[in-house]
Amino acid sequence: MRFTAVGKRVPRLDGPEKVAGRTQFGADIALPGMLWGATLRSTHAHARIVRVRTDKATKMPGVLAVITGQAFPTSDGEGVPVLARDKVRFQGEAVAAVAAETEEQARAAASAIEVDYAPLPYVADVREAMKRGATRVHDESEDPKHPNIAGVAEVKRGDVEAAFAAADLVFEDTFETPWVHQGFLEPHVSLAAMDPASGRLTVWTSTQAQFNQRADLANLLHLPMSHIRVIGLPVGGAFGGKNAVCVEPIAAELARRAGRPVKVVVSRRDDFFATRPCGASVMELKTGVKKDGTLVALQARLLFDTGGYPGAQHGVGASLAQGPYRVLNMDVKSYSVYTNRPPAGARRALTSPHVHFALESQLDIIAHALGIDPLQIRLRNALRKGDTALGGMEMPYTVAGKVIRTAAEKAGWQRRRRSSGRGAKARGFGLAAGHWSVWAGASSAWVQVNEDGTISVVTGAINLTGTNTSFAQIAAESFGILVERVTVHQGDTDTSPRNDGSWGSRVLFGVGEAVRRACEDAKRQLAEGLSEEMGVPADRILVSEGQVSVRGKAGRSLTLAEAASRAADYRGAIIGRGALSDLPFAVAVAAQVAEVEVDRETGQVEVKRLTCSQDVGRAINPMSVEGQVEGAASQGIGYGLCEEYIYGTDGTLLNDNFMDFRMPTSVDHPQYQVALIEEGLDGGPFGAKGVGEPPLVPTAAAIANAVYDAVGVRVKQLPIKPESIVRALSGGR
Amino acid sequence: MRFTAVGKRVPRLDGPEKVAGRTQFGADIALPGMLWGATLRSTHAHARIVRVRTDKATKMPGVLAVITGQAFPTSDGEGVPVLARDKVRFQGEAVAAVAAETEEQARAAASAIEVDYAPLPYVADVREAMKRGATRVHDESEDPKHPNIAGVAEVKRGDVEAAFAAADLVFEDTFETPWVHQGFLEPHVSLAAMDPASGRLTVWTSTQAQFNQRADLANLLHLPMSHIRVIGLPVGGAFGGKNAVCVEPIAAELARRAGRPVKVVVSRRDDFFATRPCGASVMELKTGVKKDGTLVALQARLLFDTGGYPGAQHGVGASLAQGPYRVLNMDVKSYSVYTNRPPAGARRALTSPHVHFALESQLDIIAHALGIDPLQIRLRNALRKGDTALGGMEMPYTVAGKVIRTAAEKAGWQRRRRSSGRGAKARGFGLAAGHWSVWAGASSAWVQVNEDGTISVVTGAINLTGTNTSFAQIAAESFGILVERVTVHQGDTDTSPRNDGSWGSRVLFGVGEAVRRACEDAKRQLAEGLSEEMGVPADRILVSEGQVSVRGKAGRSLTLAEAASRAADYRGAIIGRGALSDLPFAVAVAAQVAEVEVDRETGQVEVKRLTCSQDVGRAINPMSVEGQVEGAASQGIGYGLCEEYIYGTDGTLLNDNFMDFRMPTSVDHPQYQVALIEEGLDGGPFGAKGVGEPPLVPTAAAIANAVYDAVGVRVKQLPIKPESIVRALSGGR
Residues of chain A in contact with residue B22, where contact means CB-CB under 8 angstroms, are: 195
| Domains held by chain A: number | 3
User: Does residue A509 lie within any of the structural domains?
Assistant: yes
The minimum CA-CA distance between A684 and chain B, rounded to whole Å, is: 15
Please say if the pLDDT value at position B393 is more than 60.
Answer: no
Is residue A130 included in any domain, yes or no? no
- The shortest C-alpha distance from B680 to chain A (Å) reads 23
Q: Which residues of B touch A449 (CB under 8 A)?
A: none
Q: B425 and B475 share a domain? A: no
Average pLDDT (B617-638) is 97
Residue A573 to residue B442, Cβ atoms within 8 A:
yes
Binary contact (B572, A444; C-beta < 8 A): yes
Amino acid at B1: M
Instruction: For residue range B233-258, list pLDDT tens digits in order.
Output: 999 999 999 999 999 999 999 999 99
- Judge if A382 and A499 occupy the same domain: no
Q: How far apart are CA B175 and CA B285, in angstroms?
A: 8
Indicate the burial class of A327 (C-beta count within 10 angstroms; 0-12, 13-18, 19 or more): buried
Residue B680 and residue B634 in one domain:
yes
User: What CA–CA distance (Å, rounded) separates A100 from A37?
Assistant: 6
Q: Is B79 exposed, middle or buried (CB count within 10 Å of its CB: 0-12, 13-18, 19+)? A: middle
Helix residue ranges per DSSP H, A412-511:
467-479, 506
Own/partner long-range contacts of A66-73 (Cβ < 8 Å, ≥24 apart) = A66/A96, A66/A97, A66/A98, A66/A99, A66/A109, A66/A113, A67/A96, A67/A97, A67/A98, A67/A250, A67/A253, A67/A254, A67/A257, A68/A95, A68/A96, A69/A95, A69/A96, A71/A253, A72/A220, A72/A249, A72/A253
Mean pLDDT, residues B108-133 taken together: 96
CA distances to A602, A642, A713, A732 from A727, in Å:
10, 17, 10, 5
pLDDT at A440 over 70: yes
Least Cα distance to A61 among A95, A27, A112, A96 occurs for: A112
Nearest CA in chain B to A580: B572
Chain B residue with the nearest C-alpha to that of A449: B498
Say yes or no for a CB contact (<8 Å) between A495 and B495.
yes
Taking contacts as CB-CB distances below 8 angstroms, the residues of chain A near B494 are 456, 458, 487, 489
Do B90 and B48 lie in one domain? The reply is yes
Tell which of A530, A555, A580 closes a domain: A580
More confident residue, B569 or B432: B432
Residue A85 lies inside a defined structural domain of this protein: yes
C-beta atoms of A450 and B226 within 8 A: yes
pLDDT, mean of residues A46-56: 97
Across the interface, which of B16, B229, B582 has its CB nearest the CB of A198?
A: B16
Residue type at position B359: L
Do A444 and B489 count as a contact with CB atoms less than 8 A apart? no
Quick one: pLDDT at residue B568?
Answer: 76
Cα gap B596→B427, rounded to integer Å: 6
Q: Which residues of A480-491 are buried (b: 16+ CB within 10 A; e: fewer)?
A: ebebbbbbbbbb
Dist CA A192 CA A203 (whole Å): 4
A136 within some domain: no
Distance of alpha carbon B586 from alpha carbon A223, whole angstroms: 40
Which residues in chain A have Cβ-Cβ distances shorter than 8 Å to B195?
16-17, 22
Nearest to B485 among A195, A226, A571 (CB): A226
Task: Name the nearest CA neighbour of B182 among B551, B589, B509, B645.
Answer: B645
Contact B573 A444 (CB under 8 A): yes
Per the CB < 8 A criterion, the answer to whether B363 and B331 are in contact is no
- What three-state secondary structure class fits A644? coil
Q: Where are the beta strands (DSSP E) in A30-86?
A: 35-41, 47-53, 63-68
User: For A223-338, where are the alpha helices, taking DSSP H only?
Assistant: 248-258, 268-273, 313-319
Q: Report, as an integer, the average pLDDT of B517-542.
A: 93
Is residue A196 located within the same domain as residue A49? yes
Cβ–Cβ pairs < 8 A, chains A and B: 169
**Interface touch A580/B569, C-beta < 8 Å:** no
| Strand partners for A41 | A94
Chain B partners within 8 Å of A212 (Cβ): none
Q: What is the edge-to-edge ordering of all strands in the sheet holding A281-289?
A: A149-157, A330-338, A295-307, A281-289, A169-177
The answer to whether A442 contacts B197, with C-beta atoms less than 8 Å apart, is no
Flag whether A165 is in a domain.
no
pLDDT of residue A528: 92
Q: Do B581 and A570 touch (CB under 8 A)?
A: yes
Q: Find chain B residues with C-beta within 8 A of A221's C-beta.
A: none
Q: What number is the average pLDDT over the span B538-564? A: 89
Nearest to A452 among B218, B484, B574 (CB): B218
In the chain, the amino acid numbered A336 is S
Average pLDDT, chain B: 94
Q: State how far residue A563 is from chain B, nearest Cα, in angstroms.
A: 15
ipTM of the complex: 0.93
Taking CA atoms, B555 is separated from A571, B551, B558, in Å, by 40, 11, 9
Q: Kindly identify which residue of chain B lies nearest to residue A229, measuring between CA atoms.
A: B487
Please indicate whether, in this complex, the C-beta atoms of A497 and B446 are within 8 angstroms of each other: yes
Of B443, B457, B577, whose CA–CA distance to B509 is shortest? B443
pLDDT of residue B598: 96
- Pick A301 or B78 by higher pLDDT: A301
Mean pLDDT for the stretch of residues B31-36: 96
Output the DSSP codes for B186-230. Answer: SPPEEEEEE-TTT--EEEEE--S-HHHHHHHHHHHHT--GGGEEE
For residues B138 and B145, give the distance between their C-alpha atoms in angstroms, rounded to a whole number.
Answer: 14
Handedness of CA A338, A341, A342, A348 (dihedral sign): negative
Query: Is there a single domain that holds both residue A449 and residue A401?
Result: no
- Among A471, A495, A509, A570, pick the best mutation site for testing chain B contact (most B Cβ within 10 A): A495
Of A222, A260, A443, A448, which to mutate for an interface test with B (greatest number of B Cβ within 10 Å)? A448
Residue A636, H or E segment? helix A622-641
Closest alpha carbon within chain A to B19: A197
Which of B20, B495, B497 comes nearest A575 by C-beta? B497
Q: Are B153 and B355 in contact (CB under 8 A)?
A: no
Chain A residues in contact with B456 by the CB 8 A cut-off are 225-226, 493-494
Residue B606 sits in which domain range?
281-439+584-729
> What's the burial of A30, exposed, middle or buried (CB within 10 Å: 0-12/13-18/19+)?
exposed
Query: A345-354, B95-104, B139-148, B508-517 — which is least confidently predicted?
Result: B139-148
pLDDT at B396: 58
Residues of A in contact with B225 (CB under 8 A): 450-452, 454, 456
pLDDT reading at B391 higher than 60:
no
- The chain-wide mean pLDDT, for chain A, equals 94
pLDDT tops 90 at residue A663: yes
Can you name the residues that pair with B593 across neighbouring β-strands?
Answer: B431, B611
Query: Chain B residue with minimal CA distance to A28?
Result: B32
Smallest CA–CA distance from B14 into chain A, residue: A198
Residue B421 has pLDDT above 70, yes or no: no
Shared domain for B290 and B380, answered yes or no, is: yes
What is the domain-level CATH number for residue B64? 3.90.1170.50
Please report residues of A whose CB lies closer than 8 A to that of B450. Answer: 214, 225-226, 498
For chain B, helix, strand, coil in percent to 5 are 30, 25, 40
Mutate to test the interface with A, among B448, B479, B507, B513 (most CBs of A within 10 A): B448
Domain boundary among A580, A609, A631: A580
Task: Kindly identify which residue of chain B lies nearest to residue A212, measuring between CA atoms.
Answer: B451
Q: Mean per-residue pLDDT for B472-481?
A: 97
Q: Phi first, then psi: give them for residue B147, nearest 5 degrees.
A: -65, -15
CA dist B502 → B237, B505, B578 (Å): 12, 7, 17
Within a domain: A162: no
Is the same domain home to B299 and B228?
no
Q: Which amino acid is at A257?
A: R
Boundary residue ending a domain (A580, A613, A633) = A580
| pLDDT surpassing 70 at residue A567 | yes
Distances (CA, A) of B378 to A184, A647, B518: 76, 92, 41
Of A241, A233, A224, give the one whose Cα is nearest residue A203: A233
Chain A CB contacts of B579 below 8 Å: 571-575
B16–A197 CB contact, under 8 Å = yes
Contacts of A472 in chain B (CB under 8 A): none
Q: Are A236 and A25 in contact (CB under 8 A)?
A: yes
Contacts of B198 in chain A (CB under 8 A): 13, 16-17
What is the reported pLDDT for A392? 53
Which pLDDT does position B566 carry in this prediction?
85
Q: Which residues of A touch B449 (CB under 8 A)?
A: none
Residue B570 and residue A581: Cβ atoms within 8 Å?
A: yes
Set of chain A residues whose Cβ sits within 8 Å of the Cβ of B514? 572
Determine whether the interchain pair B568/A582 forms a contact, defined as Cβ–Cβ distance below 8 Å.
Answer: no
What is the structure's pLDDT at A207?
98
Query: Which residues of chain A make contact with B569, given a CB cutoff of 8 A?
Result: 581
Contact B264, B110 (CB under 8 A): no
The C-alpha of B573 sits at a distance from chain A's nearest C-alpha, in angstroms, of 6
**Which of the four pLDDT bands, split at 50, 70 and 90, describes residue B420?**
low
d(CA A266, CA A275): 9
CA distance B439 to chain A (A): 13
Q: Which residues pair with B338 in a beta bridge?
A: B307
Q: CA distances (Å), B666 to each of A679, B272, B669, in order?
A: 73, 22, 6
Q: Are A426 and A598 in contact (CB under 8 A)?
A: yes
- Of A282-291, A349-358, A555-564, B294-303, least confident by mean pLDDT is A555-564
Q: How confident is the model at residue A553 (pLDDT cuts 50, 70, 90)?
A: confident
Domain check: are A572 and A590 in the same one? no
Asked if residue B554 has pLDDT above 90, the reply is no
pLDDT band at A142 (very low <50, low <70, confident <90, very high): confident
Give residue A180's pLDDT. 98
CA A214/CA A204 separation, integer angstroms: 11
Say if CB B597 and CB B605 are below 8 A apart: yes
Whether residue B325 is contained in a domain is answered as yes
Asked whether residue B539 falls in the same domain as residue B672, the answer is: no
Q: Dihedral of CA A64/A69/A73/A78: which sign?
A: positive
Is A317 in contact with A351 (CB distance < 8 Å)? yes
CB B487 to CB A16 under 8 A?
Answer: no
User: Model confidence over A607-623: pLDDT tens digits?
Assistant: 999 999 999 999 999 99
On whether both B680 and B569 belong to a single domain, the answer is no
- SS3 assignment, position B175: strand
Report the chain A residue with the minimal C-alpha distance to residue B197: A16
pLDDT in tens, B178-228: 999 999 999 999 999 999 888 999 999 999 999 999 999 999 999 999 999
* Residues A429, A289 within the same domain: yes
Query: Rounded distance, CA B497 to CA A574, Å?
Result: 9
Residue A463 lies in a domain: yes
Pairwise CB contact (< 8 Å): A484 & B226: yes
pLDDT reported for residue B651:
82
Q: Is the pLDDT of residue A125 over 80?
A: yes
Residue A143, helix vs strand vs coil: coil
Task: Choose among A402, A352, A343: nearest CA to A375.
Answer: A402
Residue B715 is part of a domain; what is its CATH number?
A: 3.30.365.10
Mention every residue, 6+ apart, whose C-beta is less than 8 A from residue A184.
A235, A236, A237, A238, A239, A241, A242
